[in-house]
Amino acid sequence: MITLQGVSVKYRLLEERKRSFQAYVINYVKGKRVAVQTLWGLREVSLNVSKGESLGIIGPNGAGKSTLLKVVSGVIKPAEGEVNVSGKAAPLIELAAGFDDELTGRENIFLNASILGFSRREIEERFDRIVDFSELRDFVDTPLKHYSSGMIARLGFSVATEVDPDILIVDEVLAVGDGRFKRKSKDRILEFKNRGVIILFVSHDMESVRNLCNKVLWLDHGKARMVGEPEKVIAEYEKEMASADAVRTL
Amino acid sequence: MVNTLKEAKEIFRYRELLRNLVLRDVKIRYKRSALGFLWVMLDPLLMLLVFYALFVGLFGRSVGNYSAYVMSGLIMWQFFSQGTKVASLAFLQNRNLINKIYLPKAIFPLSVVASSLVHFIFALVPLFIILLLSGAKLGFNLALLPCVVGIVFVFSLGIALSVATLAVFFHDVIYIYDVVLLGWMYLSAIFYPVSILPEKLQLFMSLNPLYHFISLFRAGLYDPVLLTTEHVLSGVAFALLSFFIGWGIYYGNRDRIIFYL
């Protein structure tokens, strides 16, 4: 279950980031408080996602899609509002963030899985399944710097999806590896969906949103423009995008 | 208070991550050099050589066992300084992770100090070699050593949390802290005896936590004469003070860090 109640996230854009003591002190003495421009990453967003639902999040760049994912996964504490997330949330956001080039595939599996909060016993239990799914058995003791980017992405996907999450957070990572692995990872996400795992899916590809999600949230400048049936929301969204394009070409 | 306990529990829940971060530090630092882990031991030995060559004539007589004196001071100093110096970058360098996945962030400075402890333990090998070679009488207060190490660990963790958090908001902290460390080293009676200082400065010495730690360390190793209650009490007090200040700075700002990374 995910419940957001009037959630707002405030970003502070410092005009010129006053990150030195000197500048800070001088400005303070002059009575100039650092010029802060506030940008609302999210503005009073309320949302309900229950078990078995998969929510697509769409909107132009900078609309607050990633911010919303960060709020749900606990990376950002909102300035206002209530966030209630029950169950374990697993982020499939930029899978390779926790990897280290110098370490081997095996060492990276342990490192990355522990970043997701696993104990050593839990990782050992899942180790073989992770390696099998990634199809990287032959390279498991090779340092990651010798992997191709596709191989790294495969390994990351395999670790992150062995989590047994209640909530899967997907930020446009369906395109992982070669064509066959892409299908395989798509299947795995569908498998999660069928098991009743909540999926939050951010994408610019309306086709994948239609295929995966049974509810869509349209974010615009941090505000929820529309929530509902995928067909309806996507149609409205595309209409607006098209008319914005038309205005631009005029 | 309840929330502080919750945060501490979170860190404990992520203990496997802590272990892996420390392992990574240790592995990576030495993977690429031919002598590998031997550098942990060679490094203080080479430093000792320099100090010995330069200063044994000056301070050797008033110290007694000069090589044991310098070596123990150096190794304790490096435990503290290496850990806290690297820790100043702990949040900034892990911004990728902190930005993407929920983690109890304190785990990063904590892991850096823990790595430094691992290096310290390895550096005990050359230390004991020097102690034995120089004919120091060991074993008076060896049981004191784990306590001293614990105290310095807590102290370092406090400083690490402070500088790591402050560096997120003011990058200057990284450079300022470098300079502070440099001066601090010369003020910590590592290669000279306190007795050569003018009396006024000797009084100031008791305000230097590292002076107490190093004295306690030497007392535990080979020179029980140095063990005075003053060092014990001051050492513990400084460690607790540092820890509570560091934790306060981290804890009060932990949800703001993400917006400044």
pLDDT-based confidence at A17, cuts 50/70/90?
Answer: low
Q: How far is CA A216 from CA A4, A196, A226, A231, in A?
A: 15, 17, 8, 9
Same domain, A51 and A105: no
Chain B residues with beta carbon closer than 8 angstroms to that of A120:
16, 19
What's the pLDDT score for residue A173?
A: 58
**Residue ending a domain, choose from A147, A164, A181:** A164
A87 close contact with B: CB closer than 8 A? no
- Residue B227: Cβ-neighbour burial (10 angstroms; 0-12, 13-18, 19+): middle
A28 close contact with B: CB closer than 8 A? no
What's the pLDDT score for residue B261?
A: 84
The answer, yes or no, to whether residue B22 has pLDDT greater than 80, is yes
Instruction: Give the start-to-end residue ranges of the domains of chain B.
Output: 2-260
pLDDT-based confidence at A250, cuts 50/70/90?
Answer: low
Q: What type of residue is B209? A: P
Same domain, A84 and A123: no
Chain B residues with beta carbon closer than 8 angstroms to that of A19:
169-172
Range of the domain at A154: 94-164
Q: For B3-12, how does the pLDDT look when each residue is reduced to its tens digit (9 = 90+)?
A: 888 999 999 9
Closest residue of B to A74, CA-based? B102
Q: What's the structural domain count of chain A?
A: 2
Same domain, A16 and A64: yes
Q: Determine, yes or no, domain membership for A178.
A: no
Same domain, A21 and A46: yes
What's the pLDDT score for residue A238?
A: 93
Cβ of B27 within 8 Å of Cβ of A11? The answer is: no
Cβ of A19 within 8 Å of Cβ of B171? The answer is: yes
**B-proximal residues of A, 129-188, CB under 8 Å:** none
- CA separation for the pair A49, A121 (Å, rounded): 32
More confidently predicted of A118 and B141:
A118
Q: What type of residue is A22? A: Q
Q: Determine, yes or no, domain membership for A192.
A: no
Nearest to A20 among B24, B32, B170 (CB): B170
Same domain, A13 and A76: yes
Alpha carbon A208 to its chain's center: 16
A114, A120, A141, A146: best to mutate for the B interface, most B CBs within 10 A: A114
Tell me the mean pLDDT in the region B199-206: 87
Nearest to B170 among A21, A76, A98 (CB): A21
What's the pLDDT score for residue B113?
A: 98
Burial A44-83 (b: 16+ CB within 10 A, else e): ebebebeeebbbbbbbeeebbbbbbbbbbbebbebbebeb
CATH of the domain at A98: 1.10.8
What's the pLDDT score for residue B42?
A: 87
Kindly report the length of chain B.
Answer: 261
The answer, yes or no, to whether residue A20 has pLDDT greater than 70, is no
Same domain, A56 and A104: no
More confidently predicted of B137 and B80:
B80
